[in-house]
Amino acid sequence: MNQAGKALAEFVAEGTEILEALGKDLLVLDQQRGTDPDPELVNGIFRAAHSLKGLSALFGQERIAKLAHQSEDLLDRLRLGKLSLDDRVLDTLIESLDVFQALLVETSREESSDALSGRVTELGSRLANLGVVSAAVDEDPLERLELDAQVRAVFTEYEEHRLRENVRRGVALYRIRAAFDLSDFDTGLAELNSRLKPLGEVVSTLPSSEPGGASGIAFDLIFGAKVPDAELEAKLQGTPAQLFPLGVRPATPGAQVPAAPVSVAQSVAQVVRPSTPAEAPAAPRKARKKRAPKGSGAEPAGSTGKAPALRAVEPASPEKPTREEMAPRGESPLRSEMAGPPVRTLTDEPVASRGPRMENESARSLTQTVRVDISRLDALMNTVGELLLIKANLQRMVESARQQEGSVTLSHKMWGQELARETRQLERKLDALQQGLLEARMVPVGQVFDRLARLVRRIARDAGKEIDFVIGGGDVELDKLIVEELSDPLMHIIRNAIDHGAESPEVRQAAGKSRRARVSLRAEQKGNHVVIEVSDDGAGIDEVGVRDMALRKGLITEAQAREMSRRELLNLIFLPGFSTARSVSELSGRGVGLDVVKNNIGNLSGIIDVWSERGRGTAFHLTLPVTLAIIRALVVGVSGRTYAVPLNSVLEILSVKPSEIRTVERREVLDVRGTTLPLMRLARQFGHPERQNDRHFVVVAGLAQERLGIAVDELQGQQDIVVKSLGGRLQGVRGISGAADLANRRTVLVLDVGALLEEGMSLERRHA
């Protein structure tokens, strides 16, 4: 790669990382709609935008830098409380994330389309003009806080704002003093912080200027507690922390600021309750504060912004107009300028301006980079060091063998033993090295889950469905390559779940279900495999409809249809040319069906399975190997040819006499411990001349619930192989997943067990 290309790749990798963090935080913010946004979260998003600005300016990416700057400005106003986070602001922020992603895609391709540039300009001006709410504060609550002016002088504007908010809400404030050893104060502070986080907000961490002993350093933490004094004290037992309450003078003579700490159990609905005319007009702030101290009661606009958003994923819900009526006079002028219902801001945009996004919409990552935990690299370095030791031993042995010529000081036997020991060591270390490299390729599957979650939000919105998207097992690790290849198939299945699975809120309610449909995405490690489940609690798949459709399209015959179990009928949806969608909707359409999903999963040596119950929901299970890079394989011989079978799908090996093979309904089967196992003769499958054997070896292969016996002539042993994909003409050969080099420099084909299983199960018997 040339210098410029390298710089570009570096920029894209870092930009992707920042956007991933940004997206993750925005998602949390989105899920918390209707509650007071977590100030730390907003601050984190601000910092991400800030970093993106710096990064793109450094690399001369002006479009991104400009938009990042505008987003940062907006976020700065948000975190300083100059603007309240309402639906409109949040939607615009999420939209910016989309545009950033599209920009990064173009950048990585060294393109710059006018459409996208236009969108950047348009979005930028919207960001700049988003409702500026000036909270007219009559007095600064900070004046009431008994805190040394010298301490206040070192607060940033943001910290000062957080402190002010805490005072305003009547939160009990403390100065927490803790001294540490200079060498490891950061771990001590981190420990203290993790204790404090659940109990309230650490507003600022100040290194004390007072000398803390010869090698010590003391810190003052300014802390807003949301738990009672006694609890805080109890939780700090055993830490070096000392607690000093900070006094707050009453706001106005006579009116007492609630001194009691805020109850965290306060219900959301109460907290965000908007002001009502019933409140005493003379002292609205105090009245509201007493009832709901957690809400930022001071600015009327602050509460109106949050109030309507209690369950605001659904853009066109009927309550919205009412909410608008509720909004009191303090509302920003922008909102009244908009025609139509206010909450549909995002979906009401002209379609043209959304164009560039839809084309590029994918949850795929732009970068080929894998972040590796330093401890994994350290382990690899150690192994390499040990390998060098072995090499030194071998060298020493070679030297002593040379010098021995003539004299017999070391017997051949001893020498052989020593060599054998070193070889064993070498083998062990090489195994460790291989294992280490495999681990370095592993990334948490959550990377792609998070990206999917962002798309889900938009799809649900566009489809007018109310969806709760639940993610689990994001920390399960898979090879980077597999994780990347998974994103498109998962996206497709999730789109289906939202588009076809989830019913509209009204239909759900009529069926006695909750209005919001639940779509969940979970990963779980099972031995050498990872199972990913996409499930919904929607309408389920109508297997009768599936059967009729398959019959109509000529995919199966009447006779076959009669014989099929429910499970087999459901699995028809994976056949090419099958689609239950009445019309090609924008959501699931795109001319790609589940057959493509199945192929993609098959290419990853995985298998896909569907379960569904009418009225209850649908679940897809994707069973995938943990890694593709190096696998252990069984080497088998058929008609003088050699094949490799991935060992992770081999369950057992049987030795079978020809007389034990039965034929049932023109299919060859074996009886294995009381169950019937379909048999496939590999020679026949691949059209090789069949040998007459008095004994067959049957490799019992299985993935998920499927089982198949594969008959071969001979077994040649096990070996680690690196599977390489086949190019050109061989790519489409069914039953072959790739090629691998064996130790003796022979190249063999690797069986695609998933495809063979399907072939074995398939109804159309090639050899009737």
Partner 1 sequence: MGGRFERMKFKILIVEDSKASRELIAATVESISGLEAIATSSGFEALKLLPRHRFDLIITDINMPDINGLELINFVKKNPNYRDTPLFVVTTEGREKDRDRGLALGAAEYLIKPFSPRSLEGLVRRYLKLA
Q: Shortest gap between Cβ of 132 and partner 1 (angstroms)?
A: 14
Interaxial angle between packed helices 594-603 and 753-761, expressed in degrees from 0 to 180 and rounded to the nearest 10: 130
The one segment of 54-62, 93-101, 128-136, 734-742 that binds partner 1 by CB under 8 A: 54-62
Interaxial angle between packed helices 39-58 and 3-31, expressed in degrees from 0 to 180 and rounded to the nearest 10: 160
Site string for partner 1, 263-302 (x = CB under 8 A): ----------------------------------------
Q: Shortest gap between Cβ of 336 and partner 1 (angstroms)?
A: 28
Give the nearer residue to partner 1 in terms of CB position, either 149 or 768: 149
The one segment of 49-57, 621-629, 653-661, 740-748 that binds partner 1 by CB under 8 A: 49-57
Backbone torsion region of residue 661, taken as left when φ is above 0, otherwise alpha when ψ lies between -120 and 50, otherwise beta: beta
Q: How far apart are alpha carbons 626 and 525 in whole angstroms?
A: 8
Within a 10 A sphere around the Cβ of 661, how many other Cβ atoms?
Answer: 17
Does 363 sit near partner 1 (CB under 8 A)? no
Does 189 sit near partner 1 (CB under 8 A)? yes
Of 111, 157, 325, 558, the one binding partner 1 (CB under 8 A) is 157
The one segment of 1-9, 155-163, 454-462, 485-493 that binds partner 1 by CB under 8 A: 155-163
Give the nearer residue to partner 1 in terms of CB position, either 209 or 403: 209
* Contact between residue 244 and residue 174 where contact means Cβ atoms under 8 Å apart: yes
Give the nearer residue to partner 1 in terms of CB position, either 159 or 386: 159
> Residue 765: which of 604, 563, 545 has the closest Cα?
563
Sheet with 172-181, strands from edge to edge, namely 200-207, 216-225, 172-181, 242-246
**What per-residue string of b and e applies to 616-628 under the rule 16 or more CB within 10 Å gives b?**
ebbbbbbbbbbbb
> Residue 601: which of 520, 485, 477 has the closest Cα?
485
Does 374 sit near partner 1 (CB under 8 A)? no
Of 22, 55, 120, 251, the one binding partner 1 (CB under 8 A) is 55
Q: Could you tell me the two tokens for 149?
A: 């002016």
Within a 10 A sphere around the Cβ of 749, how many other Cβ atoms?
Answer: 19
Enumerate the H helices of 330-373 as residue ranges: 333-337, 355-360
Q: Could you tell me the two tokens for 130?
A: 């988003």
Q: Could you tell me the two tokens for 516?
A: 């919001």
The one segment of 30-38, 156-164, 409-417, 755-763 that binds partner 1 by CB under 8 A: 156-164
Of 100, 174, 185, 697, the one binding partner 1 (CB under 8 A) is 185
Q: Which helix (H) or strand (E) holds 158?
A: helix 157-168
* SS3 state of residue 536: strand
Q: How far apart are alpha carbons 555 and 538 in whole angstroms?
A: 27
Q: How far apart are alpha carbons 496 and 480 in whole angstroms?
A: 25
Of 206, 438, 440, 672, the one binding partner 1 (CB under 8 A) is 206
Give the nearer residue to partner 1 in terms of CB position, either 158 or 620: 158
Does 320 sit near partner 1 (CB under 8 A)? no
The DSSP string of 98-122 is HHHHHHHHHHHTT---HHHHHHHHH
Q: Shortest gap between Cβ of 74 and partner 1 (angstroms)?
A: 12
CA 266 to centroid of chain Cα atoms? 31
Residues 61-90 that bind partner 1 (CB under 8 A): 73, 76
Of 13, 32, 50, 742, the one binding partner 1 (CB under 8 A) is 50
Give the nearer residue to partner 1 in terms of CB position, either 209 or 404: 209
Does 158 sit near partner 1 (CB under 8 A)? yes
Q: Shortest gap between Cβ of 185 and partner 1 (angstroms)?
A: 7
Give the nearer residue to partner 1 in terms of CB position, either 369 or 393: 369
Q: How far apart are alpha carbons 22 and 161 in whole angstroms?
A: 23
Give the nearer residue to partner 1 in terms of CB position, either 49 or 534: 49
Amino acid (1-letter code) at residue 143: E
Instruction: State the residue for tokens 């109106």.
Output: 304
Residues 161-180 that bind partner 1 (CB under 8 A): none
The one segment of 147-155, 410-418, 499-507, 508-516 that binds partner 1 by CB under 8 A: 147-155
Q: How far apart are alpha carbons 574 and 568 in whole angstroms?
A: 11
Residues 492-551 that bind partner 1 (CB under 8 A): none
HSE toward the beta carbon, residue 557, CA cutoff 13 A: 4
Q: Shortest gap between Cβ of 285 and partner 1 (angstroms)?
A: 25
Q: How far apart are alpha carbons 527 and 218 in whole angstroms?
A: 49
The one segment of 209-217, 364-372, 461-469, 722-730 that binds partner 1 by CB under 8 A: 209-217
Q: How far apart are alpha carbons 526 and 705 in whole angstroms?
A: 13
Q: Shortest gap between Cβ of 186 and partner 1 (angstroms)?
A: 4
DSSP letter for 322, please: H
Question: Between β-strands 641-646 and 630-638, what pairing exists: parallel, antiparallel or unpaired?
Answer: antiparallel
Does 186 sit near partner 1 (CB under 8 A)? yes
Of 27, 88, 155, 489, the one binding partner 1 (CB under 8 A) is 155
Size of the site for partner 1 (CB under 8 A): 30
CA angle 656, 657, 663 (to 5 degrees): 90
The one segment of 118-126, 165-173, 183-191, 305-313 that binds partner 1 by CB under 8 A: 183-191
Count of positions (residues) in the chain: 768
The one segment of 43-51, 290-298, 306-314, 421-429 that binds partner 1 by CB under 8 A: 43-51
Q: Could you tell me the two tokens for 603?
A: 């290419």
Does 205 sit near partner 1 (CB under 8 A)? yes
Give the nearer residue to partner 1 in terms of CB position, either 51 or 627: 51
The one segment of 57-65, 415-423, 475-483, 638-646 that binds partner 1 by CB under 8 A: 57-65
Q: Which helix (H) or strand (E) holds 611?
A: strand 607-613
Give the nearer residue to partner 1 in terms of CB position, either 40 or 229: 40
Give the nearer residue to partner 1 in terms of CB position, either 54 or 637: 54
Give the nearer residue to partner 1 in terms of CB position, either 156 or 744: 156
Enumerate the H helices of 541-689 as residue ranges: 543-552, 558-563, 566-570, 594-603, 682-685
Does 25 sit near partner 1 (CB under 8 A)? no
The DSSP string of 8-40 is HHHHHHHHHHHHHHHHHHHHHHHHTTTSPPPHH
Of 51, 275, 603, 737, the one binding partner 1 (CB under 8 A) is 51
Of 78, 145, 217, 313, the one binding partner 1 (CB under 8 A) is 217
Does 558 sit near partner 1 (CB under 8 A)? no
CA angle 311, 302, 74 (to 5 degrees): 95
Does 153 sit near partner 1 (CB under 8 A)? yes
Does 223 sit near partner 1 (CB under 8 A)? no
Q: Shortest gap between Cβ of 176 and partner 1 (angstroms)?
A: 14
Give the nearer residue to partner 1 in terms of CB position, either 73 or 468: 73
Of 107, 204, 520, 535, the one binding partner 1 (CB under 8 A) is 204
Q: Shortest gap between Cβ of 159 and partner 1 (angstroms)?
A: 7
Enumerate the H helices of 404-510 as residue ranges: 412-440, 446-463, 480-496, 505-510
Q: How far apart are alpha carbons 723 and 633 in whole angstroms?
A: 10
The one segment of 52-60, 507-515, 602-610, 701-709 that binds partner 1 by CB under 8 A: 52-60
Give the nearer residue to partner 1 in terms of CB position, either 145 or 575: 145
Interacting residues toward partner 1 by CB under 8 A: 14, 47, 50-51, 54-55, 57-59, 73, 76, 153-159, 182-183, 185-186, 189, 204-207, 209, 211, 217
